[in-house]
Amino acid sequence: MSGGLRRRPAQRRSVERVERMLSACAELLAEVGQATLTTRDVAERAGVPIGTLYQFFDGKSGLLHELAMRHLALLLERLQERLATEPVDGWADAAVVVYEESLALRRGVPGFFVADFRDNGSIDTDLLREIDAEMADRLYDLGTQEAGLPPLPDPQRVLLVAITSSDGLLRLAFQSSEEGDPAVIALGARLLRAYFRDITSGTDATPGTATHAQT
């Protein structure tokens, strides 16, 4: 998917510039929030002319989209590494693993939290829907193809509900604490586990039993 990129960088120098702009966007998103974030500030932080930014990105929404895709790739990489050493026991267990890894990235990676700009309109609704759908599809492929989980009924809709719910839960947890409210985090894990156990009743051979989302 092309998302917010006007063109893909081909030369090494261009690739480095694009990565620098995305990193600057992430830093500023964490520092000032998406409402205050401007393309001019991103260009200045990245040390590139504003014209260079618009050569590659379709404005602010394009930057946010590509940043979300970069963070999704990071999340999937972490999930693959974890699943290689820690098999999951059903979709309920897998959902909490995704929740845990999202929590860890929220704590450690600047600008990781896509939910921070979900509600205030600076990113196009259709584009946000596209980001969520991409995440749902990639997580489903990871679950069924690499973790060996059984098919879900109406998988994209089921996972979209889980994704937006997880975003809301983590946003609530971080409203009152820089590291996230442990009680809210734990309740969120319980909610996700119960949701997937209900959805997969009769589908997963064995319910998830591992205990996750400890702080």
Q: What was the pLDDT predicted at 3?
A: 57
CATH of the domain at 195: 1.10.357.10
User: What are the pLDDT digits (tens) for 172-193?
Assistant: 898 888 889 999 999 999 999 9
What does the pLDDT read at residue 202? Answer: 65
Could you tell me if residue 204 is inside a domain? no
Domain assignment of residue 208, yes or no: no
| Structural domain includes residue 207 | no
The domain total for the chain is 1
Place of tokens 């964490």: 30
Q: Determine which of 31-35, 39-43, 58-62, 150-154 has the lowest per-residue pLDDT on average.
A: 31-35
Cβ 128 vs Cβ 183: under 8 Å: no
Beta-ladder partners of 57: 5
At 81-136, the pLDDT tens digits run: 999 899 899 999 999 999 999 999 888 887 776 544 454 445 567 767 888 888 99
Q: Give the structural domain span for 141.
A: 12-199
Alpha helices in 109-154 (DSSP H): 125-141
Highest mean pLDDT among 23-32, 65-74, 75-84: 75-84
149 has pLDDT over 90 = yes
DSSP 110: T
In this predicted model, what pLDDT tens digit does every residue of 10-19 receive, in sequence order? 788 889 999 9
Domain-embedded: residue 129: yes
Does residue 33 form part of some domain? yes
pLDDT surpassing 60 at residue 210: no
- Nearest-10 Cα torsion for 12, 74, 155, 195: -160
